[in-house]
Amino acid sequence: MTSMDCREIILSEQYYDYIVNLEQSEGGANILQNFSCYQQINNQTVLLYATEPYSLENTSYSTIPKCYGLMALENLTASGIYQLQQFPGLNLSGRGVMVGFVDTGIDYESPFFRNADGSTRIEAIWDQTLNTGTVPREFLYGSEYTREQIDQALQSDQPASIVPSRDDDGHGSALASIAAASTGVTDTFFGAAPEAEIAVVKLKQAKQNLKGFYGISSEAAAYAEGDLIAGIWYLHRLALARLKSLVLCIGLGTSQGDHSGGSVVDNLIRYVSRQRWRAVVVAAGNEGNERHHFSETIEQQREYHDVELRVGEGVDGFAMELWGERANVFTVSILSPSGERIPRIPVNVERSNIYRLLFDQTEVIVDYQISEGEEGTFLALIRFFGVASGIWTIRVYPAQEINSAFHMWLPIQNFLTGEVYFLQPDPYVTITGPSTVVQAVSVGAYDAGTQSLAVFSGRGFNLSNQVKPDIVAPGVEVSALVSNERVGNRSGTSASAAITAGAVALLFEWAVVRNNDPDINGVEVGSLLIRGANRSLDRSYPNREWGYGTLDLYGALQELQIQ
């Protein structure tokens, strides 16, 4: 099969995307012989494209890509950034450092992403949605546009004829502006690292076949895990080729997965963060007040526990996940709003359990996975389609006569077409993946004006009880690019992550470019931000809302100088 055939297959709705960990898969690398089209990321991870539809009857949950959504979007002073930009003898601006974004693209024509002479500050754009340009080296799809091509486009009367990549959503451009908008465009707005180089991956939308599997609205902005993995690897390889330090900013998140930090994309972030001159900053998510998490421990003498779920009008469908600890296996029965009952469903991993409720006109599919992911935890995936409004009751039975803890998560709000929530939610462990990775810098949001936590900010810890978020940064009414030269306000943990990514770029400039700590990596960066964070005397740290405190780059740099 030619590379062009494969390029078309990767975007085709006739093919389904799968993720394979070669070290954990039976047969290892030999499995690739059965596929004519696959994208190898590294020695461990491969993205496969096949005509076989998604079904947990013949594959594990971890091979089906999760879907990530956008964490929707004067704070530089509150974060200790402006002080270092202006400090005599330092004047840090991010020069010589690359800041990478895996998001919705970038408005490359905006003056906020140009130098004073009008040339671009963007090193490269990989647009996964376009198949008309040159494919990036080592990849099989999309189009790469270089700094030279972008400069040529900026000098043209028809820039889109040379670089047709656009940011139709604006989320990626907003994040890039918060982290690295140029000075001199306006008197009042510039980014945390205004001279940093910028690199961008524009993610393609998840295929409808993947959205359909999870019950995600066809109109929702959802991005497949495999494309996120490819984007991270592309930026890492680009910085390696340019001999640049890289701060990777991820403003996406998902409630899918066990929230322990052990998924395929988590492992890749862990790898990148441990490399010299690399740091990964991730938004903690906006699920803090959505009532989308439930947890309970069924004590030994109890037979079951009822979980009540409110579904509003106009909800097309959704997927709910129940995760148990390693020693526990669970089964469920389901009671619909009209009183129709699905009896207790026995564990059978050989097939999906499909039920069509007559009075509620709802299809319910239940799949069990006995040992899922690296931790070997139990998963029950419960999917609702054409779901009736009202109160649904999920009765959860433990299979073991021991204290049995479990957690349940609903999709992030962006993936729902109406209101869905637990009647007795647990506000903790509402951080979204991949901010659960220990080696990444996980950032929640607070209001720098009122010094209060943003109500939407995802709360920790992760399911392995490791401290997340690490810190919080300004994320309420943050100035950001709205369109070309127009600046407005954005709120969300994406904004917090972007501010922090810009701060880390300044830290890298001092450490790497100025040769003060040339071996620094993301793990050390996380430790410095934690030690340098501002902490209130009214709170104990670390805690599930604030992590170790609020971002203070000035304090982090002081910690670096002490070492």
Write down the domain spans for the chain.
Answer: 3-65, 70-288+433-562, 293-422
What pLDDT does 25 receive?
A: 60
CA–CA gap between residue 52 and residue 410 (Å, rounded): 27
User: What would be the CATH architecture of the domain defined by 70-288+433-562?
Assistant: 3-Layer(aba) Sandwich (3.40)
CA–CA gap between residue 426 and residue 405 (Å, rounded): 13
Give alpha helix (H) positions in 295-394.
none
For residue 451, which amino acid is it?
Answer: Q
Q: Is the pLDDT of residue 76 over 60?
A: no
What pLDDT does 404 receive?
A: 87
Q: Is the pLDDT of residue 74 over 60?
A: no
Nearest alpha-carbon partner for 68 in 100, 102, 22, 105? 102
Within 10 Å of residue 299's Cβ, how many Cβ atoms? Answer: 11
Report the share of the chain in percent with pLDDT over 90: 81
What pLDDT does 127 receive?
A: 98
Report the share of the chain in percent with pLDDT over 70: 93
Average pLDDT of the segment spanning 543-558 = 94
Those residues with Cβ within 8 angstroms of residue 147's Cβ, 6 or more apart along the chain or in another chain? 120, 122, 123, 124
Through-space distance between the first and last CA atoms of the chain, rounded to whole angstroms: 55
Those residues with Cβ within 8 angstroms of residue 104's Cβ, 6 or more apart along the chain or in another chain? 70, 167, 168, 169, 170, 171, 172, 173, 202, 203, 221
For residue 100, which amino acid is it?
Answer: G
Average pLDDT of the segment spanning 546-558 = 93
Give backbone dihedrals phi and psi of 101, rounded to 5 degrees, phi first. Answer: -130, 130
CA–CA gap between residue 93 and residue 86 (Å, rounded): 9
Nearest alpha-carbon partner for 44 in 66, 68, 19? 19
What pLDDT does 33 receive?
A: 64
What pLDDT does 28 receive?
A: 53
CATH fold of the domain at 293-422: Jelly Rolls (2.60.120)
pLDDT mean across residues, the chain: 92
Do 464 and 40 touch, CB atoms closer than 8 A? Answer: no
Within 10 Å of residue 169's Cβ, how many Cβ atoms? Answer: 15
Q: Which tokens is 485 given?
A: 């030269």
In 3-state terms, what secondary structure has residue 80? coil
Average pLDDT of the segment spanning 67-96 = 76
CA–CA gap between residue 464 and residue 72 (Å, rounded): 27
CA–CA gap between residue 284 and residue 435 (Å, rounded): 5
Give backbone dihedrals phi and psi of 531, rounded to 5 degrees, phi first. Answer: -65, -35
Do 409 and 321 touch, CB atoms closer than 8 A? Answer: yes
Within 10 Å of residue 183's Cβ, how many Cβ atoms? Answer: 15
Rg (CA), the chain: 23
The pTM (predicted TM-score) of the whole model is 0.95
Do 247 and 501 touch, CB atoms closer than 8 A? Answer: yes
Average pLDDT of the segment spanning 394-423 = 93
Q: Is the pLDDT of residue 30 over 70?
A: no
What pLDDT does 181 receive?
A: 97
Query: How do beta strands 122-127 and 197-202 pair?
Result: parallel
Residue 230's pLDDT band, with cuts at 50, 70 and 90, is very high
114-123 pLDDT, tens digit per residue, is 999 999 999 9
Average pLDDT of the segment spanning 217-234 = 97
Within a 13 Å sphere around the CA of 411, how many CA atoms are in the beta-carbon half?
Answer: 31
